[in-house]
Amino acid sequence: MHQNAETRLRDGTRISDLINHETREVKVRALSDPELYELEMERIFAKTWIFLGHETEIPNKGDFITRDMGSDAVIVARDRDNEIHVSLNVCPHRAMKVQTHDAGNANVHMCIYHGWAFKPNGDFIGAPVEKECMHGNMTPKDQLGLKKARVALYGGLIFATWNIDGPSLEEFFGDAKYYFDTLFLRTEGGLEVLGPPQRFRLNANWKTACEQSAADGFHTLTLHRWLAEVGPYAKKPDAEGKGADLSPEMYGSEVWTDHGHAMRCIDLDRKIVRLTGKDPAELSPVERLRALPPPGITPEMVPELLERFDDGQLKLMSWRPPQVGGFFPNGLFEFIYLPQPDGTIVGACALHAYIPKGPDKLEFMNWIFAEKDTPPELKARMLRQSVQMLGTSGMVEMEDSDTWPHQTEVAKGAVSKTITLKYQAKFDKGAPEGWPGPGHVGDGFTKDDTQWAWWKYWHELMTAE
């Protein structure tokens, strides 16, 4: 992209002045500035691919959901040919929202204001009292439809962009797709949503949640320390009365891309030892996968993995699979192992989206998934435990969502807004020996490189012509 380093805010500050590439710092002001927010809606959310939901939310012809692409409301609808379309939820007549429901089924979307009607694909049908031609004769009917976004489906996930001639979704994913495939393309049946997404709003800037989603592992040690004290990683207290140590979970590999996608790939060896009592180094990837299937995969599904993935991906899935990470700009995935009291493990599969609702407001949306072929009783267990841990009132997310409003409020202070967010903990090791995948890879204790890559791409988009 061509860079425009002279992009300035009204007070004369250049956007480039908000980020220091040499010291890896970002001015806290970036987390609250209203003018910056408006530019983000134009330069990021109107230009990149945005995650909107999953096709199993609209399984039938005529089904629709309403979502947001940044500050723009859209209708996501399935037509009579089973094609999925994303259209701007704004009537071209008088700018009324066409669809005011969150979800439903409709072969025609009619604006309640003046009755203009549209097909699920956004095409204009007509206005009431057709003989009076209340849509006029100045603009042809085929130009009066809802503005249409470009749509791409990936593993059932629905993405859309207003950048009609821009990069494909696969190009946008880049090196991250190699890893994403191991999460979203695992079985022939594919993933399905376990009910509608949970959602709530909080007083926080969207970037507070999203830069954390870029694989920030370090905060787990302190913000989520209960996981080691009383949670699923807790052990019997030691002689000093302390709980288990979470720091071993901080080791592994982290991957990031030039487009701000990131993931934490946590080593499974300790889990496999506990389950099998064997040395993981002596087990083949297939043996490891059978001993510890990926989150949401049952032992009966493992043969499908062997058919669908190459040797490198199978090695990754059985050794250091991506468990937590994000896709730029506002998506988070969690495919994690939940230890049970009886020594078994239940998988949790969730996706979050953080929807901008203003400089200091966001909507938190949470989807819980399972493979379609998962036994019903296991689906119910996965749903219950995923909601308890990762839901909008879950043990983990209620702590994350407590920090973001504090950060946003701080960023408004006359002095506070001038200090910086620091991403100066850097990997000093590249990919471990035998690493099978592409992208930028760091090895060892979790660092800041993934989040810094998120900010670098934010800066690239915000300063592009």
Query: What whole-number distance in Å separates Cα of residue 88 and Cα of residue 69?
Result: 9
Positive or negative torsion for Cα 58, 64, 65, 68: positive
Are residues 359 and 29 in contact, defined by beta-carbon separation less than 8 angstroms?
no
Q: Are residues 56 and 203 in the same domain?
A: no
> Cβ neighbours of residue 376 under 8 Å, at least 6 residues apart?
none
CA 158 to chain centre: 12
Does residue 17 fall inside a structural domain? no
Query: What whole-number distance in Å separates Cα of residue 158 and Cα of residue 177?
Result: 15
Query: What whole-number distance in Å separates Cα of residue 266 and Cα of residue 318?
Result: 11
What pLDDT score does 238 carry?
45
Does residue 361 fall inside a structural domain? yes
Angle subtended at Cα 206 by Cα 407 and Cα 228, rounded to the nearest 5 degrees: 60
DSSP state of 102: S
Q: Are residues 311 and 433 in the same domain?
A: yes
Does residue 28 fall inside a structural domain? no
Q: Are residues 151 and 298 in the same domain?
A: no
Does residue 366 fall inside a structural domain? yes
Whichever domain contains 153, its CATH number is 2.102.10.10
Does residue 122 fall inside a structural domain? yes
DSSP state of 260: S
What pLDDT score does 457 carry?
98
- Cα–Cα distances (Å) from 88 to 73, 85, 338, 355, 380, in that order, read 6, 10, 40, 16, 35
Whichever domain contains 304, its CATH number is 3.90.380.10
pLDDT digits (tens, 9 = 90+) for 356-383: 999 999 999 999 999 999 999 999 999 9
Which residue's structure tokens are 């709003």?
201
pLDDT digits (tens, 9 = 90+) for 291-327: 999 999 999 999 999 999 999 999 999 999 999 999 9
Q: Are residues 198 and 331 in the same domain?
A: yes
Query: What whole-number distance in Å separates Cα of residue 159 and Cα of residue 99?
Result: 20
pLDDT digits (tens, 9 = 90+) for 110-160: 999 999 999 999 999 999 998 898 898 899 999 999 999 999 999 999 999
Q: Are residues 230 and 366 in the same domain?
A: yes
Does residue 436 fall inside a structural domain? yes
Does residue 404 fall inside a structural domain? yes
**For 170-196, b where at least 16 C-beta lie within 10 A, e where not — what string?**
eebbebbbbbbbbbbbbbeebbbbbee
Tokens of 195: 């009910």
Q: Are residues 274 and 195 in the same domain?
A: yes
Tokens of 337: 């192992």
Query: What whole-number distance in Å separates Cα of residue 357 and Cα of residue 72?
Result: 10
Which residue's structure tokens are 């409003």?
405
**For residue 6, is pLDDT > 70?**
no
Q: Are residues 199 and 264 in the same domain?
A: yes
Domains: count for the chain: 2
Grade residue 235 by pLDDT with cuts at 50, 70 and 90. Answer: low
User: What is the percent of the chain where pLDDT is above 90?
Assistant: 82
What pLDDT score does 312 carry?
97
- Stretch 388-405: mean pLDDT, rounded? 85
Are residues 303 and 18 in contact, defined by beta-carbon separation less than 8 angstroms?
no
What pLDDT score does 339 carry?
83
Q: Estimate the share of the chain in helix, then strand, then coil, as percent rounded to the nearest 5.
A: 30, 25, 45
Residue 132 backbone dihedrals phi, psi, to 5 degrees: -85, -10
Are residues 409 and 329 in contact, defined by beta-carbon separation less than 8 angstroms?
no
What pLDDT score does 234 carry?
60
Does residue 25 fall inside a structural domain? no
Domain boundary among 162, 190, 212: 162
Domain boundary among 162, 196, 223: 162
Q: Are residues 127 and 240 in the same domain?
A: no
pLDDT digits (tens, 9 = 90+) for 66-76: 999 999 999 99
Query: What whole-number distance in Å separates Cα of residue 431 and Cα of residue 120?
Result: 47
Query: What whole-number distance in Å separates Cα of residue 65 and Cα of residue 53?
Result: 9
Domain boundary among 162, 193, 208: 162
Q: Are residues 216 and 124 in the same domain?
A: no
Q: What is the pTM of this model?
A: 0.94
Q: Are residues 56 and 155 in the same domain?
A: yes
Grade residue 245 by pLDDT with cuts at 50, 70 and 90. Answer: confident
Residue 78, domain extent: 50-162
Q: Are residues 203 and 155 in the same domain?
A: no
In whole numbers, what is the pLDDT of the chain averaged over residues? Answer: 93
Q: Are residues 330 and 416 in the same domain?
A: yes
Query: Which residues share a beta bridge with 420?
Result: 27
Query: What whole-number distance in Å separates Cα of residue 162 and Cα of residue 151?
Result: 9
